[in-house]
Amino acid sequence: MNQAIFSPFELGNLKLKNRIVMAPMTRSFSPGHVPNDKNIEYYRRRAANDVGLIITEGTCVGHKAANGYPNVPLVGWQKVVDAVHEEGGKIMPQLWHVGGVRKDCLQPDESVPAYSPSGLLSPNKPNGVTMSLQDIEAVQKAFVDAAVDAQKLGFDGVELHGAHGYLLDQFFWHKTNLREDQYGGDLAERTRFAVEIIEQIKAKTGQDFPVVLRYSQWKLQNYQLKLADTPEQLAQFLKPLTDAGVDMFHCSTRRFWEPEFSGSELNLAGWTKKLTGKPTITVGSVGLDGGFVDEEKRGMAAKSGVATEQFEQIEASLQAGEYDLVAVGRCLLQDPEWVHKLRASQFGQMQAYSAESLKSLY
């Protein structure tokens, strides 16, 4: 059981021991915006327990309005990278700018407003300022500089946070991108902001340094939203990003098992791989038998508290080549030994996720 999920994976120079990814999860346990000893051990513990690839919590790029949450890390990752590598793990930072989600009175400079494509938090809800062309250039440079710095620190690649209604996604979404210049337009044209970032990162870091793009249909502002209503529209969205140099797509959904479009069982990661030929990461309530899981799916949960049929579905999809990697969030937050227990089919010993785990860094 679970042979494919524990098989190696290679993407250029990136070599992973298995197909399990630790999903990025904001923790807000970095006072002063620098990872501390607790952060170091938090990531070390997951690497030591055989997580194939760790994607860090969102790490704000060097722009004055990038941050939207207290005590998130900005700089100072060297000891984390070294700790993960000492345990034989691989790690990428998730590069982040929150855009219009930023509120006043947030660190590090409380006087800085939100910056976004059209000065909107969500449709018809103004917040902050509309980015000028000079602002766009400055933010793009911040992303590129962050990627270059990550490479110098020894990270194994970078992930760009283009999901959930944050800045890159606000450019993608027609409800928050009302621009009439080259950074607005139709769905493909609205990728320009991200495309230029990706092109510049690849030019500066080389073709062997992986760039992952995390994207989603849903937004924090609207869970039901779809950027693309059909596979044809999704292809229009993905092509310029693929052409720009994205090496892998991290396809964020709330429930990984749900088909993305009618007439096919493929989820978002499956469709993305089919349309682009690029490797993909699936994610969304993996291992949970509660939370987002609806009543229909709740019936498949084993008495151990873990939905074991999920892993049969994941295994079948991996073997079929529908997607390549599986990102796990809350289960790994709760239980650092989750991967070992999955390998041994020790479902009854897995710790069920509890919101109490959000209150500490373990």
Beta-carbon contacts of 288 under 8 Å, excluding residues fewer than 6 positions away, are 307, 330, 331, 353
Is 248 within 8 Å of 215 (Cβ atoms)? no
Cβ-based neighbours of 69, under 8 Å, separated by 6 or more: 26, 28, 98, 106
Q: What is the pLDDT of residue 359?
A: 86
Residue 114 pLDDT > 60: yes
With helix as H, strand as E and coil as C, how does 132-154 read? CHHHHHHHHHHHHHHHHHHHHHC
pLDDT value at residue 304: 46
Candidates 43, 69, 166, 215; catalytic one: 166
Contact 30, 43 (CB under 8 A): no
Tell me: pLDDT of 297 over 90: no
CB-hemisphere CA count at 13 Å for 242?
Answer: 15
| pLDDT above 70 as % of the chain | 94
Q: For the chain, what is the largest distance between any 2 Cα atoms, rounded to a whole number of angstroms?
A: 57
Q: What is the CATH number of the domain that holds 271?
A: 3.20.20.70
Give 352's DSSP letter: P
Q: How many domains does the chain have?
A: 1
3-class DSSP state of 39: helix
Q: Is 166 a catalytic residue?
A: yes
Domain that holds residue 186: 4-359
Residue 254 identity (one-letter amino acid): R
How high is the mean pLDDT of the chain?
91
Please report which confidence band the pLDDT of residue 307 belongs to, taking 50, 70 and 90 as the band edges.
Answer: low
CA 190 distance to own-chain centroid: 20
3-state SS class at 158: strand
What contacts 132, CB < 8 A, 6 or more positions away?
A: none
Which pLDDT tens digit goes with each residue over 40-75?
999 999 999 999 999 999 999 999 999 999 999 998
Q: Would the pTM of this model clear 0.85, i.e. be above it?
A: yes
Q: If we measure between CA atoms, which residue out of 278, 300, 279 comes closest to residue 288?
A: 300
